[in-house]
Amino acid sequence: MSVIMITHDLGVIARMCDRAGVMYAGEIAERGSLEAVFDRSVHPYTEGLLGSIPDPDDPAPRLQPIEGNVPGLLDSEIGNRCYFADRCPKAMDECVAAKPAGVDREGSAEHRVRCVLAEREYDPARALSAGEEDREREASADD
Ligand code: SF4
């Protein structure tokens, strides 16, 4: 018998489940065994969720929120890019050039991630925010 639990409480998932799937904006962003998702997470949304869990042994003054809001799925442009790009601290040019495909991170369905970081390292030189600064510099140079 299988049971599917839907919850925001990752502690419940850690205690009760063998496998986990992290959903964002109606699709699975990352899924796999508990060890894969909790210990070897790749998707920045998964990392954000895991990073927002209070640690009673080391209480930080404030929890770190994931900035921004879930995108409007009726936006005609949203289907052609990563849904998390507007909130992602690691968003790069390629994240908004096309929708990332799901990638089997460990060569099987053991750990599947819908993120460009499943296949390459984060490159700050390609960060969307870096591009924005360049565009602002170019715009002010034109003035
Ligand atoms: S595809 Fe890009 S924007 Fe989307 S979660 Fe991965 S790094 Fe962030």
Residue 5 three-state SS: coil
Ligand 1: distance of its center to the CA of 7 in Å? 23
**What is the per-residue pLDDT across 40-55, written as a single tens digit (0 to 9) for each?**
999 999 999 998 887 7
Q: Rounded to an integer, what distance in angstroms lies between the CA atom of residue 143 and that of residue 20?
A: 51
100 lines ligand 1 (CB under 6 A): yes
* Class for the domain spanning 10-142: alpha beta
95 lines ligand 1 (CB under 6 A): yes
Q: Which residue is it, tokens 């936006």?
A: 75
* Radius of gyration over every alpha carbon of the chain, rounded to an integer in angstroms: 17
**What is the per-residue pLDDT across 13-43, written as a single tens digit (0 to 9) for each?**
999 999 999 999 999 999 999 999 999 999 9
* Other beta carbons less than 10 A from residue 116's beta carbon: 23
Q: Which of 78, 62, 61, 58 is nearest to 70 (CA)?
A: 78
Q: Give the start-to-end residue ranges of the domains of the chain.
A: 10-142
Phi/psi for 49 (5° steps) reads: -65, -45
Q: Is the pLDDT of residue 134 over 70?
A: no
13 lines ligand 1 (CB under 6 A): no
Mean pLDDT of 51-67: 79
